Amino acid sequence: MSKRILLTVFTAVITSFFAFSQHQEHAEAQKATGHENHESEEKFDISGMIMHHISDEHGWEFAHGLKLPLPVILYTHDSGLEIFSSSRLDHGQVYNGWKNEHEHIVKVNADGTVNEAIHPWDFSITKNVASLLLSAVLLILIFTAVKKGYDKNKGKAPSGIQSFLEPVILYMRDDVVKPAIGKNYEKYFPYLLTLFFFILINNLLGLLPGGANLTGNIAITMTMAVITFLIVNLNGNKYYWKHVFMPDTPKLMWIILIPVEIVGVFMKPLSLMIRLFANITAGHIIMLSLFGLIFIFQNWAVSPVVAGFALFMNLIELLVAFLQALIFTLLTSMYIGSAIEDHSHDHH
């Protein structure tokens, strides 16, 4: 726990330093070019800064001046497949007729206007895609090591990373998935365990300086919610569908209850999607708002105060990272359990 707190303090201080340094470099550049304007500095666009950091982009900026170019992959019927570095489109540059307009790659004419007739298929490796691939590789490496540990320590006490993750896996199996689903939990446990660790590791990666806001991207949470929706409804038994279309109530009430039940079928995955997206994004916005105070006050004296608040928020965010992964997995387990529950006999 002490190591985690030290890492959190280090993260807060370093991020505060980068934020202040970015402002200082910008101010010095203005002085050098003779464009120093106190009124413009007072109108610092904190909302633009926040949206820039929580949004996806065609490049991975770890800190000011430290950006990893990522491949831009475009396909059009006329030009075919085109692959080039995102650095060629930095600072509004045009490359082969392509331009990055607010993280949307568009075709431009010779006069610089957007060619509305050409709409490319964009398969680019953006920051979120790169973070997604990184988390997938980490999960494969981690659980390959856990498997090797189980093979090596058969009949013995667990060791290494196996001993660290085994209590978490057993907790998820015995206290979350099994009680929610019942005796047939083994069929769905691999998916649910993958879901939990995928959300958890991406929540934690998003807390690192320069980390991507992957689980705060609604497209990612929507994809996980859609997968859950398909698993729940494709495995739903006759009792589940009877409850939706033939509720155990007087038939006159079906006029009201059937539409409500149908809406509920879609509201369950929708709630999963919005809950994870909103909680993770809100945490990032609060953290970035704190760092934005350095730009607004333009004083080193603010940094310790910001670092203190950032430390407090980082500790909360660590808790939220685990809680949101747990809640998403728990609710998914409950939805699956309600869909496959056997009502053929009385339950106590």
DSSP letter string over 14-37? HHHHHHHHHHHHHHHHHHHHT---
d(CA 82, CA 75): 6
Output the pLDDT for position 186.
93
In degrees rounded to 5, what are phi and psi of residue 123? -110, 25
pLDDT over 90 at 298, yes or no: no
State how beta strands 60-63 and 66-68 pair: antiparallel
Whether pLDDT at 137 is above 50: yes
Residue 217 has pLDDT above 80, yes or no: yes
How much is the pTM? 0.82
For residue 341, pLDDT over 80 is answered with yes
Q: Average the pLDDT over 204-228 and give the result.
A: 92
Instruction: State the pLDDT at residue 344.
Output: 58
Residue 267 has pLDDT above 50, yes or no: yes
Q: Are 121 and 75 in contact (CB under 8 A)?
A: yes
pLDDT at 144: 92
pLDDT (mean) for 214-228: 94
User: Taking the domains of the chain in order of start, what are their residue ranges?
Assistant: 71-122, 127-340
Nearest by Cα to 293 from 311, 310, 269, 318: 310
Q: What is the DSSP letter of 90?
A: G
Confidence of residue 233 (pLDDT cuts 50, 70, 90): very high
Q: What is the pLDDT of residue 82?
A: 92
The string of pLDDT tens digits covering residues 76-106 is 988 899 999 999 998 888 988 899 888 889 9
83-110: b (≥16 Cβ within 10 Å) or e? ebebbebeeeeebeebbbeeeebbbeee
Q: Strand locations in 110-238, DSSP E?
A: 121-122
Q: In the structure, what pLDDT confidence band is assigned to residue 327 with cuts at 50, 70 and 90?
A: very high
